[in-house]
């Protein structure tokens, strides 16, 4: 009887983080162009849900994923690659291969399908588990990993991972082991910077009542905020991004930002999102603004950044290398945008060595 429902589950799983359409011109920037890879006073970070679901959950993704990897490689050749890339839905081997194609030396993977996180439960959590629906994937186990990856030009000195427990997932999203990935970087001239990548529960796409997805979302936010606060040392820079699946839902928006404020991470605030800051402080090219505005209105993909004194990092530039495609469909159902931040200078003359396209990256923490 269980097998009879698998086609329905497969169809729904393809919408794990459902989103809108996309637009892009890779050469447009919201501020004056700069050679990012050679600027020792800046750090550029991209977040991108690449829709890297394996067949048969998604069809025809190989070509799109190859084009994403090829474009990142071309950006590297031009000295304009993001220093750090946060990927979500990098489930398939083709999705993971684009990291090598793009030439990143250091790669961190999020929770695999087997990682479990123990967390204390309350009465509400127990009641939630007791009402889990097997016909919506909530009792099926984890068929997929978290799909999280962090690609870095800078050395990764450590990794922390958390998978959301069963009482903190809803519907078809429970078939993927969604969670949180932290990569601790050493950035020459700046020192330690901690990078957080996350993917939270979908809303209607989970195919269970919205009230159930809201309860799971709230628990995920609480667990994530406390996990980040516990694993990122005070006095160190922190950049947090990913597919937060907030959208236009005010209940989710309130739960997300109050959850982080409650854990002392007050730099995670709507006005301090990198894309929103870039839109607020520039009147540059209309084409790039339209793509970035689309990402902001979509409300799923966010980036926040603070320095070691708990002050927001200054946004220098925003670009949308993966958005509107001239003469074709976007490469994903999300836009991939880059925020370039000014970083504090602590040690001068520390050499920076960026990868080229030839060597294969070192896979730190390969598939925990």
The yes-or-no verdict on residue 30 having pLDDT over 80 is: no
Give which of 190, 171, 219 is closest to 18, Cα–Cα: 171
Q: Is beta strand 42-52 parallel, antiparallel or unpaired with respect to 84-90?
A: parallel
Q: Does the pLDDT value for residue 356 go beyond 60?
A: no
Considering 19-28, 122-131, 158-167, the range whose residues carry the highest mean pLDDT is 158-167
Close Cβ partners of 137 (under 8 Å, ≥ 6 residues apart): 9, 12, 13, 171, 172, 173, 174, 175
Predicted confidence band of residue 192 (pLDDT cuts 50, 70, 90) = very high
User: 223 vs 135, which has greater pLDDT?
Assistant: 223
Among 12-21, 127-136, 254-263, the minimum mean pLDDT is found in 12-21
The pLDDT tens digits for 31-58 are: 434 445 555 679 999 999 999 887 656 6
Distance CA 99, CA 92 (A): 12
The more confident residue out of 8 and 165 is 165
Cβ burial 231-264 (10 Å sphere, 16+ → b, else e): bbeeeebbbbbbbbbbbebeebeebbbebbeebe
DSSP-derived 3-state class of residue 40: coil
Order of all β-strands in the sheet with 156-163? 156-163, 179-187, 191-199, 237-243, 301-306
Asked if residue 362 has pLDDT above 50, the reply is no
Can you tell me the mean pLDDT for 142-169? 95
The residue that leads in pLDDT, 245 or 171, is 245
**Distance between CA 247 and CA 42 in Å, rounded?**
29
Give residue 367's pLDDT: 36
Q: Give the angle 208-336-87 at the CA atoms, nearest 5°.
A: 65
Output the six-digit token pair for 233: 């040392």
**pLDDT tens for residues 69-109?**
999 999 999 999 999 999 999 998 888 899 899 999 999 99
What CA–CA distance (Å, rounded) separates 358 from 326?
Answer: 29
Q: Looking at per-residue confidence, does 359 or 75 come out higher?
A: 75
Report which of 256, 230, 244, 238 is spatially closest to residue 160, judged by C-alpha positions.
230
Average pLDDT, the chain: 84
Name the residue with tokens 């200054």.
314
Closest CA to 41 of 76, 74, 83, 5: 83
Which whole number is the average pLDDT over 233-240?
A: 96
What is the reported pTM?
A: 0.86
The DSSP H or E segment spanning 45 is strand 42-52
pLDDT tens digit string along 57-76? 666 788 999 999 999 999 99
Judge whether residue 360 has pLDDT over 60: no
Mean pLDDT of 229-237: 96
User: Prior bond to 56 cis, omega within 30?
Assistant: yes
| Cα-to-chain-centroid distance, residue 163 | 15
How many Å is the Cα radius of gyration of the chain?
19
CA atoms within 13 A on the CB side of 142: 20
Give the pLDDT mean for 349-363.
Answer: 51
Mean pLDDT value of segment 118-127: 90
Task: Show the domains of the chain with their CATH numbers.
Answer: 3-363 (3.60.10.10)
Which of 92-96, 130-134, 332-336: highest mean pLDDT? 332-336
In SS3 terms, 160-174 reads as EEEECCHHHCCHHHH
Residue 230 burial (10 A CB sphere; 0-12, 13-18, 19+): exposed
What digits encode the pLDDT tens for the residues 250-300? 999 999 999 999 999 999 999 999 999 999 986 445 668 899 999 999 999
5-14, 198-207, 311-320: least confident range: 5-14
Of 36-50, 159-173, 297-311, where does mean pLDDT reach its minimum?
36-50
Cα(180)–Cα(199) distance, integer angstroms = 7
Please, what is the Cα angle at 99 between 144 and 312, to 5 degrees? 90
CA distance 161 to 356: 28
């Amino acid at each position: 009887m269980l097998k009879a429902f698998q086609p329905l589950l497969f169809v729904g799983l393809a919408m794990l983080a459902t989103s809108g359409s996309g637009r892009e011109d890779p050469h447009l920037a919201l501020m004056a162009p700069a050679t990012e890879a050679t600027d020792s006073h800046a750090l550029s970070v991209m977040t991108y849900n690449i829709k890297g679901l394996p067949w048969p959950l998604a069809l025809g993704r190989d070509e799109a994923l190859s084009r994403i990897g090829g474009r990142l490689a071309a950006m590297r050749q031009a000295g304009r690659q993001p220093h750090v890339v946060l990927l979500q839905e990098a489930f398939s081997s083709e999705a993971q291969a684009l990291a090598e194609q793009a030439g990143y030396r250091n790669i961190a993977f999020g929770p695999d399908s087997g990682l479990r996180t123990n967390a204390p439960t309350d009465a509400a959590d127990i009641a939630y588990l007791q009402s889990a629906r097997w016909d919506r994937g909530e009792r099926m186990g984890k068929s997929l990993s978290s799909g999280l990856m962090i690609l870095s030009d800078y050395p990764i000195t450590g990794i922390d991972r958390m998978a959301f427990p069963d009482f903190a997932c809803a519907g078809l999203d429970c078939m993927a082991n969604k969670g949180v990935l932290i990569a601790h970087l050493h950035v020459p001239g700046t020192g330690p910077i901690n990078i957080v990548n996350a993917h939270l529960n979908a809303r209607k796409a989970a195919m269970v009542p919205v009230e159930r997805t809201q309860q799971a979302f709230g628990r995920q936010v609480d667990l994530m905020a406390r996990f980040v606060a516990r694993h990122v040392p005070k006095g160190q820079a922190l950049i947090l991004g990913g597919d937060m699946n907030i959208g236009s839902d005010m209940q989710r928006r309130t739960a997300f930002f109050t959850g982080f404020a409650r854990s002392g991470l007050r730099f995670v605030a709507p006005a301090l999102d990198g894309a929103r800051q870039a839109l607020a402080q520039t009147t540059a090219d209309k084409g790039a603004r339209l793509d970035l505005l689309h990402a902001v209105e979509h409300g799923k993909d966010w980036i926040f950044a603070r320095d070691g004194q708990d002050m927001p990092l200054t946004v220098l530039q925003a670009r949308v290398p993966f958005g509107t495609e001239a003469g074709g469909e976007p490469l994903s159902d999300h836009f991939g945008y880059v925020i370039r931040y000014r970083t504090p200078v602590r040690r001068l003359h520390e050499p920076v060595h960026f990868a080229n396209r030839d060597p294969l990256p070192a896979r730190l923490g390969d598939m925990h």
